[in-house]
């Protein structure tokens, strides 16, 4: 501002040049137009569109007279650019002012030459006037337009001018060579010289410095001039000039005039250039307008800057808004997460509360458990002591047990030996008793209160094997009736009062023989209704009335249980068949029943092991008495029963109940197999008495045949005949291995106590006595290979 004010004051002092410049600017509105740059280089030509900005102002030709470098302008911006333009205008104004001042000085000099007090001659004065007039007129003449200005030259000139201005004028003044007229001539007027303007300016400066400097400076300048002009000196303080000096001065003035002309021409050129550049804006705008415009530009610049900042702010705002949206989204997400976490936290808190509750409960329980554990610890200690004591006791017991085991082994060994001995003795006894024994059982007399018909049978007291049959006879001499007593001796005679239990007690030894591996056969023989079935089967539903079969079964299973302690195990298989009219029926086969011709039952004997089998027979393994009872009930249903005149329940067939007993001793590895036959023979009544006929007659004949065959076999065995007629009947053939030397046979002869049955009873007793008289030899034990 200070510099600008200074320039303004200078402009005030030289109104004319300022006006010229102002008018020039006002007449050059195009200066304010924005240049249309065809090239960005400083050497390119620039055109100016109708706009203005700082860049344009920086490159306008006016700057050629300002101390501005184009690079400075290009590098400047904003207010600095405007300031440079203003400074250049001020510099131009100052130059113009200097020129005016020069012109004024020259006028003073001319006045001084015209002043009589000076020694300047009128010719000199005239010359000065002549010299001054064109210069003054030239300053007053309107600026002629310059067709074209080489910008490159302009810029170069500007650079030179700047260099000149930047350097100290004083230093340049001291340069003698630069003010040489010769040099001025060659450099100043060379149209293509790049140093044209600078030289001109240099000359101008030297000139003005020389002519219008202070007295001290003038002296120095004069000295310089004198040196360049063969020591011609000029001093303003010297009031008297001699002629030579005047001549020299005159020449000097001429040179000055020439120089002035030159300077004026150059200035004119510069002014023309400036006028050309400043013509439109200078014509329309004032400096104030420019300033206003500059302010406006500054404002626009600020506005642009503000817009740019606003744009940046908007951009930033958008970014911030976007960030805010993202932040909002994140906040919403975080809010959801927060809600979830709060729910989880609530659940966790609830869980913690529950867990704390459980922990408290567990703690209480733990305390209780600790107390129990403490108590248990003491109890455990007591128990440990007890265990130690018991262990000691156990050890003692182990020793005792070991001793007892040894004793037991010894006892078992002894027991086996005893058992072996028992069996041997038992067999010996059975052999001594006979391998075929006959028991007689007299049925109770249902008409007698005591059941005993003493008129027919007499059982002598003190005997159990004798029965006397009282049979009335008519004497041949006198014709008087008499009682004939016939005594029959058997192995055992059971009277009418004998119970099922008493009968079985004596036959149980045979059961034991079956378990020892012997074939045994127990059969009942007697007329119909004599009590055969009662003795062999009895009433299964009444335990006291159960016959030999159920009691044998019970005896077998109880004996098996006892023998198991001695290492014996048994497998029991059950068969139940009948022989009806010399035909074998399977009573345990409910499908075939009777008269089933599809199955053929054939009796086969194994001569090696004396085992008899019947083909296609149903074999039922039994493990307990109940199973046997069920089989007996089943067989009773299928048994052929025919109503006869003698006994409505008379059996018309032979029934054979077989138990195959297979034993194995794990200790001795001994194996045994015995077959127990319990046979209920059909009634042996005579055909004439029974009154049967037809089919039943045939049945009776078959029954009698089989019973007769049985007697024949026993007779043959008793007579030790070579041929034993086993094959005469199915019954004898079936019992081939059960009657004879390889078996133990027990025959029950059942007797009816009734007088009407006396003849049949006597016949049965005779048959039984015949059997009882037989020696069937020594029974052999059946062994399984």
Ligand X SMILES: Nc1ncnc2c1ncn2[C@@H]1O[C@H](COP(=O)(O)OP(=O)(O)OP(=O)(O)O)[C@@H](O)[C@H]1O
CB closer to ligand X, 22 vs 684: 684
User: Least CB distance from residue 694 to ligand X, whole Å?
Assistant: 18
Q: From residue 178, how far is each of 155, 175, 187, 670 by CA, in Å? A: 22, 6, 10, 163
Q: What are phi and psi of 575, to 5 degrees?
A: -130, 150
CB closer to ligand X, 517 vs 526: 526
Q: Which of residues 719-758 bind ligand X (CB under 6 A)?
A: 750
Judged by CB under 6 A, which stretch of 139-147, 484-492, 526-534, 580-588 contacts ligand X?
A: 526-534
CB closer to ligand X, 63 vs 440: 440
Q: Which residue, 27, 78, 80, 84, is CA-closest to 59?
A: 84
Q: Does 531 bind ligand X (CB under 6 A)?
A: yes
- Measure CA 237 to chain center: 122
CB closer to ligand X, 29 vs 529: 529
Q: Does 260 bind ligand X (CB under 6 A)?
A: no
User: Least CB distance from residue 628 to ligand X, whole Å?
Assistant: 20
Using CB under 6 A, which of 529, 550, 663, 674 touches ligand X? 529
In whole angstroms, give the CA distance from residue 421 to residue 415. 9
Residues 93, 120 contacting (CB under 8 angstroms): no
CB closer to ligand X, 435 vs 533: 533
Using CB under 6 A, which of 683, 696, 707, 743 touches ligand X? 683
Question: Angle at the Cα of 573 (from 569 to 574), degrees rounded to 5?
Answer: 145
User: Least CB distance from residue 533 to ligand X, whole Å?
Assistant: 3
Residues 769, 440 contacting (CB under 8 angstroms): no
In degrees to the nearest 10, what's the CA dihedral of 767, 773, 777, 779?
Answer: 60
Q: From residue 353, how far is each of 342, 343, 544, 627 by CA, in Å? A: 16, 15, 79, 69
Residue 694 has which token pair? 């037809």
Q: Does 533 bind ligand X (CB under 6 A)?
A: yes
In whole angstroms, give the CA distance from residue 318 to residue 326. 12
Which contiguous run of DSSP H or E holds residue 598?
A: none
Q: Tell me which residue has tokens 């060659």.
A: 186
Q: Which residue, 754, 747, 681, 707, is CA-closest to 533?
A: 681
Judged by CB under 6 A, which stretch of 522-530, 600-608, 689-697, 729-737 contacts ligand X?
A: 522-530
Residues 214, 227 contacting (CB under 8 angstroms): no
Q: Which of residues 5-34 bind ligand X (CB under 6 A)?
A: none
Judged by CB under 6 A, which stretch of 9-17, 265-273, 523-531, 670-678 contacts ligand X?
A: 523-531
Judged by CB under 6 A, the number of residues near ligand X is 16
CB closer to ligand X, 588 vs 681: 681
In whole angstroms, give the CA distance from residue 376 to residue 344. 43
Q: From residue 217, how far is each of 115, 233, 343 by CA, in Å? A: 23, 14, 100
CB closer to ligand X, 649 vs 698: 649
User: Least CB distance from residue 650 to ligand X, whole Å?
Assistant: 3
Q: What residue number has its CB nearest to ligand X?
A: 531
CB closer to ligand X, 270 vs 700: 700
The strand pairing partners of 611, in sequence order, are 606
Residue 544 has which token pair? 């006291």
User: Least CB distance from residue 614 to ligand X, whole Å?
Assistant: 23
CB closer to ligand X, 406 vs 698: 698
Q: Which of residues 439-458 bind ligand X (CB under 6 A)?
A: 443-444
Q: Is 526 one of the annotated binding-site residues?
A: yes
User: Least CB distance from residue 486 to ligand X, whole Å?
Assistant: 22
- The binding track of 33-72 with respect to ligand X, each residue x by CB under 6 A or -, is ----------------------------------------
Judged by CB under 6 A, which stretch of 180-188, 571-579, 595-603, 645-653 contacts ligand X?
A: 645-653
User: Least CB distance from residue 450 to ligand X, whole Å?
Assistant: 13
Q: Tell me which residue has tokens 């079956």.
A: 514
Residue 677 has which token pair? 């036959």
User: Least CB distance from residue 779 to ligand X, whole Å?
Assistant: 28
Largest interatomic CA distance in the chain: 254
User: Least CB distance from residue 684 to ligand X, whole Å?
Assistant: 8
CB closer to ligand X, 143 vs 537: 537
- List of residues 6+ apart from 481 with CB closer than 8 A: 472, 473, 474, 475
Q: Does 275 bind ligand X (CB under 6 A)?
A: no
Residue 783 has which token pair? 């062994």
Q: Is 532 one of the annotated binding-site residues?
A: yes
User: Least CB distance from residue 443 to ligand X, whole Å?
Assistant: 4
In whole angstroms, give the CA distance from residue 747 to residue 438. 5
Q: Does 647 bind ligand X (CB under 6 A)?
A: yes
Using CB under 6 A, which of 264, 492, 532, 654 touches ligand X? 532
In whole angstroms, give the CA distance from residue 124 to residue 362. 137
Q: Which of residues 180-209 bind ligand X (CB under 6 A)?
A: none
Judged by CB under 6 A, which stretch of 184-192, 396-404, 555-563, 647-655 contacts ligand X?
A: 647-655
Question: Angle at the Cα of 610 (from 606 to 613), degrees rounded to 5?
Answer: 55
3-state helix, strand, coil in the chain (%, to 5): 60, 15, 30
Burial of 738 (0-12, 13-18, 19+ CB in 10 A): buried
Using CB under 6 A, which of 151, 153, 430, 530 touches ligand X? 530
User: Least CB distance from residue 446 to ligand X, whole Å?
Assistant: 7
Q: What is the DSSP string of 377-445?
A: HHHHHHHHHHHHHHHHHHHHHHHHHHHHHHHHHHHHHHHHHHHHHHHHHHHHHHHHH-SEEEEEEEPP-
- The binding track of 535-574 with respect to ligand X, each residue x by CB under 6 A or -, is ----------------------------------------
User: Least CB distance from residue 469 to ligand X, whole Å?
Assistant: 18
Using CB under 6 A, which of 28, 279, 293, 534 touches ligand X? 534
Binding site residues for ATP, as ranges?
526-533
In the complex, the residues that contact ligand X under the rule CB under 6 A are 443-444, 526, 528-534, 647, 649-651, 683, 750
């Amino acid at each position: 501002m200070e510099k600008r004010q200074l320039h303004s004051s200078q402009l005030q002092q030289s109104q004319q040049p300022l006006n010229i410049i102002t008018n020039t600017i006002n007449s050059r509105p195009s200066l304010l137009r924005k240049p249309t740059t065809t090239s960005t280089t400083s050497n390119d030509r620039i055109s100016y569109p109708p706009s203005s900005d700082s860049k344009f102002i920086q490159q306008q030709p006016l700057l050629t007279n300002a101390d501005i470098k184009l690079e400075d302008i290009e590098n400047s911006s904003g207010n600095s650019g405007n300031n440079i333009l203003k400074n250049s205008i001020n510099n131009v104004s100052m130059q113009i002012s200097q020129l005016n001042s020069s012109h004024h000085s020259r006028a003073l000099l001319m006045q001084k030459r015209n002043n009589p007090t000076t020694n300047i001659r009128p010719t000199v004065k005239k010359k000065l006037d002549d010299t001054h007039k064109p210069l003054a007129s030239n300053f007053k003449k309107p600026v002629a337009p310059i067709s074209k200005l080489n910008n490159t030259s302009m810029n170069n000139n500007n650079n030179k001018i700047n260099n000149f201005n930047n350097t100290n004028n004083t230093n340049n003044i001291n340069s003698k060579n630069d003010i040489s007229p010769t040099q001025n001539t060659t450099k100043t007027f060379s149209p293509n010289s790049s140093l044209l303007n600078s030289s001109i300016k240099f000359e101008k400066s030297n000139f003005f410095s020389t002519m219008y400097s202070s007295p001290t400076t003038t002296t120095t300048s004069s000295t310089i001039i004198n040196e360049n002009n063969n020591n011609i000196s000029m001093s303003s303080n010297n009031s008297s000039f001699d002629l030579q000096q005047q001549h020299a001065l005159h020449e000097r003035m001429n040179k000055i005039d020439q120089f002035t002309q030159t300077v004026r021409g150059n200035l004119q050129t510069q002014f023309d250039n400036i006028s050309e550049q400043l013509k439109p804006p200078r014509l329309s705008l004032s400096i104030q307008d420019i300033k206003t415009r500059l302010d406006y530009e500054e404002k626009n610049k600020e506005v642009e800057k503000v817009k740019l900042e606003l744009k940046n702010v908007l951009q930033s705002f958008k970014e911030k808004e976007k960030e805010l949206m993202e932040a909002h989204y994140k906040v919403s997400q975080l809010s959801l997460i927060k809600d979830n976490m709060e729910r989880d936290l609530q659940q966790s808190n609830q869980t913690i509360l529950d867990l704390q509750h459980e922990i408290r409960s567990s703690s209480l329980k733990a305390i209780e458990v600790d107390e129990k554990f403490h108590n248990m610890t003491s109890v455990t200690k007591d128990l440990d002591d007890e265990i130690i004591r018991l262990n000691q006791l156990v050890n003692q017991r182990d020793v005792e047990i070991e001793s007892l085991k040894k004793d037991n082994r010894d006892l078992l060994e002894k027991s086996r030996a005893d058992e072996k001995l028992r069996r041997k003795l038992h067999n010996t006894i059975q052999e001594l008793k006979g391998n075929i024994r006959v028991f007689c059982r007299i049925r109770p007399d249902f008409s007698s209160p005591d059941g005993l018909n003493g008129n027919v049978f007499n059982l002598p007291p003190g005997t159990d094997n004798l029965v006397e049959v009282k049979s009335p006879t008519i004497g041949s001499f006198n014709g008087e009736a008499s009682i004939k007593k016939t005594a029959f001796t058997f192995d055992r005679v059971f009277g009418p009062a004998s119970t099922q239990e008493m009968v079985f007690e004596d036959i149980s030894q045979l059961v034991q023989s079956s378990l020892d591996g012997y074939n045994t056969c127990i059969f009942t023989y007697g007329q119909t209704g004599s009590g055969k079935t009662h003795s062999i089967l009895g009433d299964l539903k009444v335990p006291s009335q159960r016959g030999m079969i159920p009691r044998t079964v019970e005896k077998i299973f109880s004996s098996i249980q006892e023998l198991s302690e001695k290492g014996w195990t048994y497998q029991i298989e059950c068969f139940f068949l009948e022989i009806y009219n010399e035909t074998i029926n399977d009573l345990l086969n409910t499908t075939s029943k009777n008269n089933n011709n599809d199955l053929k039952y054939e009796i086969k004997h194994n001569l090696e092991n004396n085992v008899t089998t019947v083909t296609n027979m149903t074999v039922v393994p039994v493990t307990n008495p109940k199973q046997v009872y069920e089989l007996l009930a089943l067989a009773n249903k299928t048994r052929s029963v025919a109503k006869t005149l003698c006994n409505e329940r008379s059996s018309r067939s032979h029934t054979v109940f077989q138990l195959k007993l297979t034993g194995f001793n794990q200790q001795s590895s001994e194996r045994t197999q015995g077959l127990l036959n319990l046979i209920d023979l059909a009634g042996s009544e005579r055909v004439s008495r029974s009154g049967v006929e037809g089919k039943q007659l045939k049945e009776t004949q078959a029954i009698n045949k089989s019973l007769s065959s049985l007697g024949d076999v026993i007779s043959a065995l008793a007579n030790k005949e070579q041929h034993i007629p086993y094959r005469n009947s199915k019954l004898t053939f079936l019992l081939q291995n059960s009657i004879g030397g390889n078996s133990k046979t027990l025959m029950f002869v059942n007797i009816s106590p009734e007088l009407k049955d006396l003849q049949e009873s006597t016949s049965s007793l005779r048959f039984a006595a015949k059997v009882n008289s037989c020696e069937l030899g020594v029974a052999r034990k059946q062994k399984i290979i």
